[in-house]
Amino acid sequence: MKFNITVDRDEDGVWVIECPAIPGCVSQGATREQAMENIKHAISLCLEVRAEKGLPLTIETGQIEVAA
């Protein structure tokens, strides 16, 4: 499965990655590469738990246009 993710660095330089389609699915790492590996693992675990609890695996995500 493929998922969209967001990638950011916090004020301490830690890479933070989130999967918006899976509520609460966030991971981090000291390097971008480490954070990417960690989010793959987090996504797998989140999907497993959601399936065990009978929850939908993902939620709907989308885009909206806002004047800036």
What span, in angstroms and rounded, lies between the C-alpha atoms of 58 and 61? 9
Q: CA 18 to CA 4: how far, in whole Å?
A: 9
- pLDDT per position in the chain (68 positions), as tens? 899 999 999 999 999 999 999 999 999 999 999 999 999 999 999 999 999 999 999 999 989 999 98
Separation between Cα atoms, residue 24 and residue 33, nearest integer Å:
21
Task: Look at residues 59, 56, 26, 30 and name the one whose alpha carbon lies nearest to residue 43.
Answer: 26
pTM over 0.85: yes
Using an 8 Å Cβ cutoff, are 40 and 61 in contact?
no
